[in-house]
């Protein structure tokens, strides 16, 4: 099903630019796969920032990942520009959301077809760089759709064909071995199903109180028989939050806060049977691995950023509040009129009442709907 870029021959060298956070980068992988399926003779490279590139390692649809490390001085930046200039990309797609950095990188490629967004809700001078960088500029969607569908709308002129959309997260064998050794070393009972709880985010206004998450973890362990594993990034504020969750628990979890890189996290999630977490990158990783998930949302928008159910091609979550299922995943949030406000806490306070007042009982009602699916996954894995 070869597709042709409007007015040209099919591309041979494609570049996707996604200078965003880890979850954003992972949500770009459905477009990578669609491009490869429509242009089987093309190679796809991806430009990302730093550690976000870890979630792309081993991706069979990607030929090269260029990881730009910010704050490393002029030499890495010049090396990046040299690579962009010399790589002779035919098709360049900037998924970074209209920022100058992505636009400049696009312009440096001299690509034949350069896609990017025209920002429609900003002063005209904000679009000067974009108008210079992109020769196939698309207006921002006038409606809110999931990030994966937004990426596809950007390249609508390509008329790409696809039956379903899949987020791809490779699980690498060295990481699988490390996780197996770690769980064995920590005395994890393989007869019990495993539940990973990721209660933290780089933005703490997305997090629930430690006492709430402790009760959820205790109920999952005590009432449903799961071995609970607590995870977080290797960041002081996240590890401190996780420690407060642990202090309030009555059952004994395995605490791996700050001990796993993204590749090891992928291996742990692949080994797990259930996932509970806030709106953060590991939630997208869990969904990519088809791990039954419950993701807790507050002020942010699950209809834009909810865990993607692999195999679908349509908008998975509605805008209204409450608990909603898409495929094997649930999003859980209160049904308040102010949700989603998309603010960093109530009135900019960095504290979100829609999360601080979410009860463990409400969360466990949703978790209970996933327990059967989690046990089925466990039985398939353990004879």
The answer to whether residue 53 sits within a structural domain is yes
Q: Which domain holds residue 228?
A: 173-381
Residues 212 and 266 in one domain: yes
68 and 188 share one domain: no
Indicate if the pLDDT at residue 191 is higher than 80: yes
The reply to whether 133 and 89 lie within a common domain is yes
What is the pLDDT confidence band of residue 2, given thresholds at 50, 70 and 90?
very low
As to burial, measured by CB atoms within 10 angstroms (0-12 exposed, 13-18 middle, 19+ buried), residue 236 is exposed
Please, what is the average pLDDT of the chain?
93
72 exposure class (CB count in 10 Å sphere: 0-12, 13-18, 19+):
exposed
Is residue 322 in a domain? yes
Let me know whether 27 and 145 are in one domain.
Answer: yes
Least confident of 21-35, 93-107, 253-267, 284-298: 93-107
The answer to the question of residue 165 being in a domain is no
For residue 139, the model assigns a pLDDT of 80
| Residue 186 CB neighbour total at 10 angstroms | 12
Per the confidence metrics, is the pTM higher than 0.85? yes
6 domain-assigned: no
The answer on 258 and 147 residing in a single domain is: no
> What tokens were used for 70?
């910010």
Closest CA to 90 of 106, 107, 63, 113: 113
Q: What is the pLDDT of residues 197-247, one digit of tens each?
A: 999 999 999 999 999 999 999 999 999 999 999 999 999 999 999 999 999
Domain stop point among 131, 158, 185 = 158
55 and 102 fall within a common domain: yes
pLDDT score of 333: 96
Q: Are 132 and 181 members of one domain?
A: no
Give the mean pLDDT of 276-284: 98
Q: Residue 96: inside a domain, yes or no?
A: yes
Domain with 123 in it: what CATH number? Answer: 3.40.50.2000
Q: Are 274 and 291 in contact (CB under 8 A)?
A: yes
Q: Considering only 77-91, 116-130, 281-295, 352-366, which range has the smallest mean pLDDT? A: 116-130
Per-residue model confidence as pLDDT tens digits over 76-130: 889 999 999 999 999 999 999 867 889 999 999 999 999 998 776 655 556 677 7
Domain-embedded: residue 2: no
Q: Give the position of tokens 């001990």.
A: 259
Q: Which of 158, 187, 212 is the last residue of a domain?
A: 158
Give the end of a domain, one of 126, 158, 190: 158
Residue 17 backbone phi and psi in degrees, to 5: -110, 120
209 and 354 part of one domain = yes
Is residue 167 in a domain?
no
User: Is residue 64 located within the same domain as residue 112?
Assistant: yes
Same domain, 90 and 187: no
- What's the domain count of the chain? 2
Report yes or no on 163 lying in a domain: no
pLDDT tens-digit profile of 60-78? 999 999 999 887 778 888 9
pLDDT at 138 over 90: no
Both 182 and 301 in a single domain?
yes
H-type alpha helices, the chain: 22-26, 29-38, 74-86, 100-109, 128-133, 147-154, 173-185, 210-222, 236-247, 262-271, 281-288, 302-305, 353-356, 360-381
pLDDT class for 375, splitting at 50, 70, 90? very high
Same domain, 132 and 179: no
């Amino acid at each position: 099903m070869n597709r042709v870029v409007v007015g040209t021959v099919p591309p041979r060298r494609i570049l996707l630019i996604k200078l965003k956070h880890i979850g954003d980068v992972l949500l770009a992988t459905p477009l990578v796969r669609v491009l490869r399926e429509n242009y089987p003779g093309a190679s796809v490279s991806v430009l990302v920032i730093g550690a976000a590139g870890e979630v792309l390692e081993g991706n069979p649809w990607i030929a090269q990942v260029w990881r730009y490390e910010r704050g490393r001085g002029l030499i890495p930046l010049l090396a990046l520009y040299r690579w962009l200039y010399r790589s002779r990309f035919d098709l360049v797609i900037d998924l970074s959301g209209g920022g100058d950095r992505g636009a400049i990188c696009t312009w440096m490629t001299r690509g034949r077809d350069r896609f990017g967004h025209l920002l429609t809700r900003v002063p005209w001078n904000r679009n000067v760089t974009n108008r210079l960088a992109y020769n196939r500029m698309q207006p921002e969607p006038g409606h809110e759709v999931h990030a994966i569908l937004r990426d596809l709308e950007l390249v609508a002129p390509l008329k790409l064909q696809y039956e379903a959309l899949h987020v791809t997260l490779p699980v690498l064998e060295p990481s699988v071995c490390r996780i197996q050794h770690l769980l064995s070393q920590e005395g994890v009972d393989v007869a019990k199903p495993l539940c990973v709880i990721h209660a933290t985010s780089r933005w703490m206004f997305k997090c629930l109180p430690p006492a709430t998450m402790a009760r959820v973890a205790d109920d999952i362990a005590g009432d449903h028989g799961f071995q609970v594993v607590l995870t977080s990034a290797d960041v002081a504020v996240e590890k401190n939050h996780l420690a407060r969750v642990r202090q309030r628990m009555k059952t004994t979890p395995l605490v791996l806060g700050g001990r796993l890189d993204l590749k090891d996290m992928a291996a742990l999630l692949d080994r797990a049977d259930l996932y509970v977490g806030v709106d953060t990158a590991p939630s997208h990783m869990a969904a990519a691995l088809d791990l039954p998930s419950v993701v807790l949302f507050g002020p942010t928008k699950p209809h834009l950023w909810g865990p993607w159910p692999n195999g679908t091609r349509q908008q998975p979550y509605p805008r209204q509040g409450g608990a909603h299922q898409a495929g094997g995943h649930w999003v859980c949030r209160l049904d308040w009129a102010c949700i989603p406000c998309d603010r960093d806490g109530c009135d900019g306070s960095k504290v979100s009442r829609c999360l601080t007042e979410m009860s463990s009982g409400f969360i466990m009602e949703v978790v209970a709907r996933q327990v059967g699916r989690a046990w089925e996954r466990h039985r398939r894995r353990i004879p």
